[in-house]
Amino acid sequence: MNSRTADGRQLLEVDNVTLRFGGLVALDEVNFAMRTGEILGLIGPNGAGKTTCFNVMTGMYRPTAGTVRFQGRPLIGRKRHEITRSGIARTFQNVRLFPEMTALENVMVGADIRDRTSVLGALFRVPRYWREERASRAKAMEMMEFVGIADRAGEVSRNLPYGVQRRLEIARALATDPALLCLDEPAAGFNPSEKAALLQLIRAIRDRGVTVLLIEHDMRLVMEVTDHIVVLEFGKKIAEGSPAEVREDPRVIAAYLGVPTDAA
């Protein structure tokens, strides 16, 4: 799967995005587009600006220049929760769950996103409260089953093993019904068999119709799972193409020279 298998409609366009922190240029006129249904890999050496790029897309940072359009509408300047509501969900490089809440509750926070029960509705337990509460719980359980951790639903998330926490974060993000899921180094700290399972999971996510943006260090995983790859170095895009093209690209090889291809 090295041609762009997606259905061709543009889901997200990153257009000439530049981000400066004081004198430091974190992103320098980065351009790329994602199509609905594809798995796009965003790779590059440490400090290349991958996570920063993520953060611009999800509203954590506001770019100095350039625009990001999602489903044809500009994202810049919208509030974070609105961006999530419009269909972009993410996970974090260093897992950021709600540690004191149970796994189920964590996912329910994501599933609550489309609920319309008001504070007064919850206070007086109106019929809509019961309906939406049931729906949220069912949705959360479905997502946990999907990522394969339904048996841990009642456990407090801080007590869960690392691998389960990573999956839980994915379930929480999926529960918001995203059109685009951004995974920030989901395989960090995984052993080969866990990585293989993750690879299956990412494909399954795509098969649900969710477009996936993947930041990952493990080249083997990226080459295997993605349809299209964007390579960043020092905040600049240095290459873009199918995994096969990127692998052969001299600039990419130079950027990674001395860095083992499966450094993770």
Partner 1 sequence: MIDQKTAMPRRTWRNRNGNGSPFRGRWARLPRSARWASLLGVALLAYLLPYVGSIPGIGPQIVTEGIDWPSALFNISYFVLLALGLNVVVGYAGLLDLGYVGFFAVGAYSVALFTSPDSILNTGWSWLAAVPVAIALTLVSGVILGWPTLRLRGDYLAIVTLGFAEIIRNTANGAEFMRGDRGFGGIPHPPGSLGDNSPIFGVRDATPYYWLGLTIIVVVIIGVRNLEHSRVGRSWLAIREDQEAAEMMGVRTVKYKLWAFAIGAAIGGFGGVMFAGEQGFLNSATFQLLFSILVLAGVVMGGSGNIPGAILGGALVSYVPDRLRGVEIAGTDAFQFRMLIFGFMIIVVMVFRPQGLLPSRRRAAELADRAKEATA
Cα 125 from Cα 120, distance rounded (Å): 8
Please identify which residue in 76, 156, 197, 264 interacts with partner 1, judged by CB under 8 A. 156
Is residue 77 a contact residue for partner 1 (CB under 8 A)?
no
Residue 154 backbone dihedrals phi, psi, to 5 degrees? -85, 0
Cα 67 from Cα 17, distance rounded (Å): 6
Least distance in angstroms from the C-beta of 15 to partner 1: 23
Is residue 135 a contact residue for partner 1 (CB under 8 A)?
no
Is residue 154 a contact residue for partner 1 (CB under 8 A)?
yes
Cα 240 from Cα 127, distance rounded (Å): 52
Burial 244-256 (b: 16+ CB within 10 A, else e): eebeebeebeebb
Task: List the structure tokens of 101.
Answer: 């809440």
Looking at beta carbons only, is 9 or 81 nearer to partner 1? 81
Please identify which residue in 2, 10, 64, 102 interacts with partner 1, judged by CB under 8 A. 102
Is residue 4 a contact residue for partner 1 (CB under 8 A)?
no
The DSSP call for residue 61 is: S
Cα 187 from Cα 198, distance rounded (Å): 7
- Identify each DSSP E strand in 107-205 by its residue range: 180-184
Among the residue ranges 10-18, 126-134, 213-221, 226-234, the one whose residues contact partner 1 (CB under 8 A): 126-134
Is residue 234 a contact residue for partner 1 (CB under 8 A)?
no
Is residue 62 a contact residue for partner 1 (CB under 8 A)?
no
Residues making contact with partner 1 (CB under 8 A)? 58, 60, 79-81, 84-85, 89-90, 92, 96-102, 104-105, 108-110, 112-113, 115, 117, 119, 122-125, 129, 132-133, 136-138, 141, 145, 150, 153-156, 158-159, 172-173, 176
